[in-house]
Amino acid sequence: MQIIIERLALLAEKTHSQTAIDSYRVFHGRGRTFPGLEFITVDFFQPAILITLFFAPPEQWLDELLINITPLFDAETTVLVVQRRYLPSAPSEVVFGNLPDTVFARRGNLLFNLHLAQQQNSGYFLDMEPGREWIEQHAAGKRVLNLFAYTCAFSVVAVAAGAEKVVNVDMSSAALNLGRENHQLNNLAKNKSEYVAENILKSWARVKKPGPYDMVIIDPPSYQKGSFIAEKDYAKVIRRLPELMPAGGLVLACLNAPELSEGFLKQQFIEQCPQATFIERVKPHADFPDVDSEQQLKLLVYQVAASLS
């Protein structure tokens, strides 16, 4: 527990001295690098501190933590939210301060709408920052296809970095609506982004139509019953890459499934898209240490060669 208190004390110093603080993971117990604390993560989305419990902590443990950390913060400027992911519907509770009507993730000059204390996922994944950095470095002038776009954070970063156009595809209209709001929130040109609410695996003609593309981002759920199961469905996406980008281009293939290795994803490319050359695995963020790199988020970059005409 002491390490969490120390990390939050450092955060408290920041909140007292800085007006705007980028969102970040304060503590990551899930990677098993802190024995006995595997059940907890702590994230900061100014002004909210989100404590997520993945299974029930020892009796009185949370009460003791709160007794130690609440004196560090001002209830007028900071709010503590506890989410219990081990319970049905992952309920959240405000335990200190008052949760504003709107809370944003902050990334430099960019803001992203959140729905804290409303559903299981906040709407912005901090561990994906290395992917956003990679996109920021490579998106300028590109026509980008963002598959499984969710709330379109990749698209916001790409458009802000100078992408020619980003087509966001997701089966959830509600998620894409939040994505559209994220673009508007950052005053990004409306003609730089498009939103396609389709089941990707059943709508390739609709996905292909706005192309061709010279960058494709694949960031699917690892297991979403009835829509996508990475172990059997990722291959179906990879084999479509040549027709989506006939002139070739870059692919960022993401996989957030601890049970599936980097080797699994590489094998899918070998079998389904042999004209793709592996470039690199983007290094995981330092805020998300893990005793086993195979269980961390995988971000693999490929170069797809132009198709023969």
* 206 has a pLDDT exceeding 60: yes
Query: Hey, which CATH number is domain 2-100, 3.30.750.80, 3.40.50.300, 1.50.40.10, 3.40.50.1100?
Result: 3.30.750.80
In this prediction, residue 197 carries a pLDDT of: 95
In this prediction, residue 115 carries a pLDDT of: 84
* 36 has a pLDDT exceeding 70: yes
What percentage of the chain exceeds 90 in pLDDT?
Answer: 87
219-231 burial, b for 16+ CB within 10 Å, e for fewer?
Answer: bbebeeeebbebe
- The gap between the terminal CA atoms of the chain, to the nearest Å, is 61
In this prediction, residue 309 carries a pLDDT of: 56
* 225 has a pLDDT exceeding 90: no
Q: Which two tokens stand for residue 76?
A: 């007028």
Do the domains at 2-100 and 126-304 have one common CATH topology?
Answer: no
pLDDT tens per residue across span 266-309:
999 999 999 999 999 999 999 999 998 888 999 999 999 998 65
Residue corresponding to tokens 């993730």: 105
> Which is nearest to 61 in space by CA: 91, 29, 90?
29
* 60 alpha-carbon distance from chain centroid: 32
In this prediction, residue 221 carries a pLDDT of: 85
Query: Hey, which CATH number is domain 126-304, 3.40.50.2020, 3.40.50.150, 3.40.640.10, 1.10.1270.20?
Result: 3.40.50.150
Q: Which two tokens stand for residue 96?
A: 């200190």
Residue corresponding to tokens 């059940």: 39
**Span 216-226, average pLDDT:** 85
In this prediction, residue 116 carries a pLDDT of: 81
Residue boundaries of the structural domains of the chain: 2-100, 126-304
Q: Are 155 and 180 in contact (CB under 8 A)?
A: no
Task: Write the Ramachandran bin of 37: left for phi over 0, alpha for psi from -120 to 50, otherwise beta.
Answer: alpha
Question: How far is residue 161's CA from residue 186's CA, in Å, rounded to a whole number?
Answer: 12
Arithmetic mean of pLDDT over the chain? 94
In this prediction, residue 105 carries a pLDDT of: 96
What type of residue is 75? A
pLDDT tens per residue across span 105-161:
999 999 999 988 766 778 899 999 999 999 999 999 999 999 999 999 999 999 999
